Amino acid sequence: MTKRVTIVDVAARAGVAISSVSSALNDRPGVSAGTRIRIIAAADELGFVPSIRARSLSSKRAFAVGLVVQRDPDVLESDPFFASFIGGVESVLGSRGYALVLQMGAGREETLERYRRLAADRRVDGVFLSEIEIDDDRIPLLEQIQLPVVGINAERDDFPFVCVRQDHVAGIERLMRYLVDLGHTRIAHVSGPSRFIHARQREAAWREALVRLQIEPGRVVEGDFTYEGGHRAADELLVGGDLPTAVMCANDLTAVGFMARAIDLGFSVPGDVSVMGYDGIQLGEYVRPTLTTLKTSPRLIGAEAARLLLDQIDGDPVADIDIPPVQLIVRDSTGPSARR
Amino acid sequence: MTKRVTIVDVAARAGVAISSVSSALNDRPGVSAGTRIRIIAAADELGFVPSIRARSLSSKRAFAVGLVVQRDPDVLESDPFFASFIGGVESVLGSRGYALVLQMGAGREETLERYRRLAADRRVDGVFLSEIEIDDDRIPLLEQIQLPVVGINAERDDFPFVCVRQDHVAGIERLMRYLVDLGHTRIAHVSGPSRFIHARQREAAWREALVRLQIEPGRVVEGDFTYEGGHRAADELLVGGDLPTAVMCANDLTAVGFMARAIDLGFSVPGDVSVMGYDGIQLGEYVRPTLTTLKTSPRLIGAEAARLLLDQIDGDPVADIDIPPVQLIVRDSTGPSARR
DNA sequence: CTCATTGTCGAAAACGTTTCGGCACGCAGA
DNA sequence: TCTGCGTGCCGAAACGTTTTCGACAATGAG
């Protein structure tokens, strides 16, 4: 019923002191090969599972890490990023005996409060920091609290923690080169909310890629990563004389919304305007026309971020990581420039 | 740096024994009003935060609950249920000093393994059990492990744990009555995978509602809760002579996929066929035609489930809860029956 | 044969709570 | 005055690890 077999039982069975059991099971030096084997055998036979609670108390570790996601319910409703990200995180955490504590804050203040509580309670040994904004309050807060942090897509300069980044530059350059090869020269961008670092990164990558390809960057309309945002962006971009021949949206959902609205407005996709997304979510495969996009791997980002966080907690040296895009997926929403 | 102020400090400051501090701060009897106030004051002044770790060890509680979601990555990719559900769970957990441990299992065996680990480690005081299937392995496993459980949309008979259920019957009856009032008599259903209890519940509710309204239930096609599943269902249902005049899909994503495909096939929605979903996700508002659906509240389900779980852990009496649907949302995808 | 050295192991002290048994003390009833 | 009994409080023992430090044996060098 209650947790029966403790380290004491193992020690008794192996005929050694509990300290030896501890050393043996944690791969610490100071115990001979012979006794080590004996101890491990005893532990196995008894089905010994060390008590995380006692371990936590004694070793001052929680064996858990935290993720706080700020969720203004509408925006993130069906954001596929976190599900995959968490999957990746979990795969690494599980194998190292760690667990993930997930918190959700509705507004800014609530989110900060969650971090504070997590730290005050010492419930986790480290946290992920994602969806980072310009002048993000959480950064000074986390600097003050002494807690290992791994950032996700943080800005490249001036970020005080280690970070995992999607390599937007490489990915978006591939998208742009593809468009330019098709003859496009007026290429617009529907960005994410500009307060988000990762939205700015994508926009900057778009701009730089075009400059590098010697194309004048087209208009930028700020979206919000939603389907509806794509609608609005189409309304804004597809009027007047200076129409873009291609549009790159900051994510797939926006691109799908953009296409739907463009078609409603009487444009042909890709005949009049090519549309591309960024993410590679399932949906892009089902809409008509199917969506050209760049597939990324939130799962990989999660796994690497978890590895970095755990290494950092263990005191191992860590360094930033760039995750390359997975694959350029060419489908039906893009085609040769109309050149009108 | 390290957790400084402990119960000992508080006791010293208040001039009492640590046992009194513990009693006072936990609202336990055996301490007079006067000293209680003094102790609370001392704790406040010192900014005392009890160590969850010590508390866990001593009181044999983890102060955390677990959610294991099985994620065959494609299917759940953009399932909005969990995000909202977790939001609701969190809102209750937070205020009671509990945290949520989230685990993700890729396959069946991995999922079971997560539950086992969670239990063996005693990392949580209880778990949620959702997406329940017919003959679900997890049920016997959880019965064997002694751990409080709250089910989500479990079957009504023969489920060994307490449960929170969306009241599909009430909700779907509203949808059906609305269709029947519009003159529909051939009403089909695109279900979820039949291995899921909640998919069967929806189908059963659909069937019973129609019987009650004295309409012969139409065809049933098994979908999979995805957009693509809606596509396939349309391919299957919209051929031959005996066409349905209305289709109720088991969730919104399926309905949106169904509509898109129906329109591709040359049908008019709702002219030739009315389509309705179930969930009330954002997307239904953006597609054309906009989607008639029933709004549910995963958030509410999460909150109630968390309350039930915590009460159960505290040893308080608990009883099943039915959550009513939130609102029938009539939009453009449904209309009078074509009666052809 | 002695002494320093190394490697192995054990006893005991943390870690910071909760909980349990008991000791004063004041008060009622005899 | 004595007995009995709640009340409020205290000291100390859990809870199950990790970790430190010292004891002890075996080993090699002088």
Give, in Å, how far the C1' of C4 lies from the CA of A30.
20
Mean pLDDT of B272-291: 92
Q: Is the confidence at residue B139, as pLDDT, over 80?
A: yes
B52 contact A CB<8A:
yes
Q: Do B102 and A101 touch (CB under 8 A)?
A: yes
- Say yes or no for a CB contact (<8 Å) between B52 and A122: yes
B32 touches strand C (CB under 7 A): no
Residue B71 contacts A, CB cutoff 8 Å = yes
Option in A56, A87, A283 nearest B53 (CB): A56
- Do β-strands A220-222 and A246-249 pair in parallel, antiparallel, or remain unpaired? unpaired
Which residues of chain B from 122 to 181 reach within 8 Å of chain A, CB to CB?
122-123, 146
B274 in Cβ contact with B33 (< 8 Å): no
User: What are the residues whose beta carbons fall under 8 Å from the beta carbon of A213, sequence distance 6 or more?
Assistant: A176, A177, A180
Give start and end residues of each alpha helix (H) in A182-290. Answer: 197-212, 227-237, 252-264, 283-286
Going by pLDDT thresholds of 50, 70 and 90, the confidence category of residue B275 is very high
Contacts of A78 in chain B (CB under 8 A): 78-80, 83, 281-283
Q: Distance in angstroms, CA of A18 to C1' of C10?
A: 8
A231–B287 C-beta distance less than 8 A = no
Contact positions of strand C to protein Cβ (< 7 A): 7-12, 14-21
Q: Please tell me the predicted confidence (pLDDT) of residue A34.
A: 87
Kindly determine whether residue B83 and residue A94, on different chains, have CB atoms separated by under 8 Å.
no
**What is d(CA A142, CA A289) in angstroms, rounded to the nearest whole number?**
45
Cβ under 8 Å to B: A residues 259-318: 260, 264, 281-283, 285-288, 299
Q: Do B77 and A86 touch (CB under 8 A)?
A: no
CB A224 within 8 A of CB A75: yes
**Nearest-neighbour CA in chain B from A236: distance (Å):** 17
- Give tens-digit pLDDT for B155-195: 998 999 999 999 999 999 999 999 999 999 999 999 999 99
Nearest protein residue by Cα to C1' of nucleotide C14 = A58
Which is nearest to A7 in space by CA: A36, A45, A49?
A49
% of chain B exceeding 90 in pLDDT: 83
pLDDT above 70 covers what percent of chain B? Answer: 96
Closest CB from A80, A102, A117 relative to B77: A80
Q: Quick: pLDDT tens for A150-199.
A: 999 999 989 999 999 999 999 999 999 999 999 999 999 999 999 999 99
Residue type, B124: V
Contact B285 A257 (CB under 8 A): no
Distances (CA, A) of A300 to A165, A195, B76, B257: 11, 25, 18, 29
H or E segment and range at residue B220: strand B220-222
Of the two residues B340 and A146, the one the predictor is more confident about is A146
Q: Distance (Å) from the C-alpha of residue A274 to the closest C-alpha of chain B?
A: 20
Chain A: give the shortest CA distance to residue B208, in Å. Answer: 31
Q: What is the pLDDT of residues A292-332, one digit of tens each?
A: 999 999 999 999 999 999 999 999 999 999 999 999 999 99
Report angle CA B70, B190, B210 to the nearest 5 degrees: 120
Position B293: which residue type? Answer: T
Q: Is A121's CB within 8 Å of B260's CB?
A: no
- What per-residue confidence (pLDDT) applies to B3? 60
- Answer whether A102 sits within 8 Å of B84, measured CB to CB: no
What gap in Å lies between CA A328 and CA B75, rounded to an integer? 22
Using a CB-CB cut-off of 8 Å, the residues of chain A touching B52 are 121-123
SS3 (DSSP) at B47: coil
* A123 vs B52, B60, B287: nearest CB: B52
Find the residue in B nearest to A260 (Cα): B287
Q: Any idea what the Cα angle at residue B203 is, between residues B198 and B204, rounded to 5°?
A: 95
A87 touches chain B (CB under 8 A): yes
Average pLDDT over residues B308-316: 95
> For residue A105, what pLDDT is reported?
84
What's the Å distance between residue A30 CA and nucleotide C8 C1'? 7
Residue A321 CA to residue B211 CA, distance in Å, equals: 60
Q: Each residue's pLDDT tens digit in chain A (340 positions)? A: 455 799 999 999 999 999 999 999 998 888 888 889 999 999 999 999 999 999 999 999 999 999 999 877 555 555 778 888 999 999 999 999 999 999 988 888 889 999 999 988 899 999 999 999 999 999 999 999 889 999 999 999 899 999 999 999 999 999 999 999 999 999 999 999 999 999 999 999 999 999 999 999 999 999 999 889 999 999 999 998 889 999 999 999 999 999 999 999 999 999 999 999 999 988 898 888 999 999 999 999 999 999 999 999 999 999 999 999 999 999 999 999 975 5
Q: How high is the pLDDT of residue A82?
A: 86
Q: How many CB atoms lie within 10 A of CB B240?
A: 8
Question: Which residues of chain A (9-38) touch nucleic strand D at CB < 7 A?
Answer: 18-19, 21-23, 25-26, 28, 30
Mark yes or no for CB contact B94/A103 under 8 Å: yes
Mean pLDDT over B222-246 rounds to 94
pLDDT value at position A1? 47
* DSSP codes joined into one string, A10-53: HHHHHTS-HHHHHHHHTT-SSS-HHHHHHHHHHHHHHT----HH
Partner-chain contact A102 B101, CB within 8 Å: yes
Return d(Cα A295, Cα A108) in angstroms, integer. Answer: 30
Give me the pLDDT at residue A77, please: 56
- Which nucleotide shows the minimum CA-to-C1' distance to residue A17? C10
On whether any CB of chain B is under 8 Å from the CB of A116, the answer is no
B204 CB less than 7 Å from any atom of strand C: no
194-253 in chain A: CB under 8 A from chain B = 226-228, 231
Contact B121 A54 (CB under 8 A): no
Least CA distance to B283: which residue of chain A? A227
